[in-house]
Chains A and B, each alone.
Chain A
């Protein structure tokens, strides 16, 4: 490479190989038919895309907060990579939500101009991580659930949602694998790491009940072949978690097993388990309010203040 080409190389615009880790701007949804399938409730579809998009956007934000703080360089790369994938999923889903809504809002309007009560993510996504074990436990739970969900969503009657999910499956397979490997390393590592990983799993599993609690919108869109009823993901989730936790030599509290996530018997006296139990919610989804209804923890306000501050401070700004 000649020295005199130092600047010349910069004006060569046709080389996508400059991206080391595959974040090129080619349209991942090229060729997917535009428009909406017959008989699909567009307002419902918009709300559903917001739910799945917000899950990814908020979890990505938590991963972004780990940048420069990971335990090793390889994990610095991996966490940023997962954060980027989820951000990509969020962008596609928010854009689809905007289209379905038909009010002219784009991905940035939806990310930057909504207040906490308008966000529809599950509360587990917004939870702060006390340490690396907590991050891994949350990542394991969220990615195992989301992979099971996207796997089924790839057959959605909405071709756009199906395409987004099919792309996401490849990404989430890696995310789940990363989280599972670390769960095993930490669980079956030193005495200290075993203790921390066990504590993290025990803390993250009860609130995970929310993930399987169907919202009315999910149920009606699932009936129309567009969405997935999250209650149907339990069996796969339980199987995967049991396998990972067993390999990791993690035995969650007595009377608690991965196969009984969130059931009241599993965590006696836990308000989260009682309120969020899928069994309790299955008959009447509207009884237990959740992140899907816009009810969040204080953590979400903090995340949005950080994320939206600059965008809101410069009205009419071009970025």
Chain B
């Protein structure tokens, strides 16, 4: 078999493609783009919750949140490493992010207005991320699939912690219950948009499904998320802000309303509430750290030449 046939055979048998295997250029480019976007999302995703670390209202919550945000940095690191196995370079990917040439998940362009947002991000945003990511543990590209297994384990831990924070707050004061409901109202629709545009409007999906980079359609994953979340909302005692949300006996699934797709397009195209601030913070950190990275490189070079 030549490289192309071996690749087709690997995909057909549901085996993993490894870094040194032959792969179509489009497969490589699609993966780099997807893994880089995912890595960028982890790194930008540190910001909304990171805002609350110094202000967390108990030392236990502070430790949990700091550990979570650190996990996100770790996820970014594994994912950039997975992209590097395909020939990408971390510094170059970071430049693409900062210059707006590569995207990250739009959800992180929304602000975190109260501490309840920390819990809701854990519950809904990490919950949606898990629905998206668990199938990626079976992605055809080996390094990505393996990174996703570890990431999904940690994400599921974060989701539980978020939900536990909300449960605790719902048992607190009326003001705290209002904070939780308000945060749910603001994050519900953006969370549904995390699955991407409706299937009819998702140009790259078909090819990714054929290559087994992607395993389920956007709409299918969105439905899974709604079905999983509604009973959790009931247990928590909050109302999901969708008047069309109801159990459909015939389908044995929940019916739900259509997200405002024009909002998703607007946020993706750069016009969300905090797009500029998120990128600016990342750009600033990169610029402020340039002299430090140059020093580390210069020192390593001196060490090499001394040997």
Contacts and interface: CB of A to CB of B under 8 A. Distances in A.
> Does A associate with B in a complex?
yes
A103 interface: no
Contact of B176 (A3, A69, A318): A318
Interface stretch (A16-24, A202-210, A287-295): A16-24
A152 B45 CA distance: 41
Contacts of B284: 69
A29 interface: no
Q: Interface residues of B toward A: which range?
A: 35 or more
Contact of B73 (A77, A132, A317): A77
A184 B298 CA distance: 12
A21 B70 contact: yes
A6 B224 contact: yes
B214 interface: no
Interface stretch (B13-21, B25-33, B59-67, B255-263): B59-67
A90 B60 CA distance: 11
Contacts of B71: 20-21
Contacts of B160: 10
A17 B150 CA distance: 10
B97 interface: no
A311 interface: yes
Given A73-B77, A87-B66, A193-B291, A6 B228 contact: yes
Interface in B48-86: 50, 53-63, 66-67, 69-71, 73-74, 76-77, 80
B165 interface: yes
A57 to B, nearest CB: 8
Interface string A276-319: 00000000000000000000000000000011011100101111
A64 interface: yes
Interface string A66-89: 011111111111001101100110
Interface string A158-197: 0000000000000000000000000011101110110010
Interface stretch (B134-142, B202-210, B237-245): B134-142
B92 to A, nearest CB: 14
A107 interface: yes
Given A19-B157, A80-B70, A6 B134 contact: yes
B67 A71 contact: no
Nearest to B131: A6
A145 B268 CA distance: 49
A314 B215 CA distance: 45
B3 interface: no
Given A73-B77, A316-B173, A186 B292 contact: yes
B59 A64 contact: no
B130 interface: yes
B115 interface: yes
Contacts of A189: 294-296, 298-299
B200 interface: no
B295 A186 contact: yes
Contact of B54 (A21, A132, A306, A316): A306
A91 interface: yes
B218 to A, nearest CB: 15
Nearest to B170: A318
Interface of B: 43, 46-47, 50, 53-63, 66-67, 69-71, 73-74, 76-77, 80, 90, 115, 130-131, 134-135, 137-138, 149-150, 152-154, 156-157, 159-160, 165, 168-169, 171-173, 175-176, 215-216, 224, 228, 281-282, 284-285, 288-296, 298-299, 302
29 contacts: A9-B134, A10-B159, A19-B67, A20-B74, A64-B53, A64-B54, A64-B62, A67-B46, A67-B66, A68-B285, A69-B281, A69-B285, A69-B288, A71-B285, A71-B290, A77-B73, A80-B69, A87-B66, A88-B63, A91-B59, A91-B60, A108-B58, A108-B59, A189-B299, A193-B298, A311-B57, A317-B169, A317-B173, A318-B171
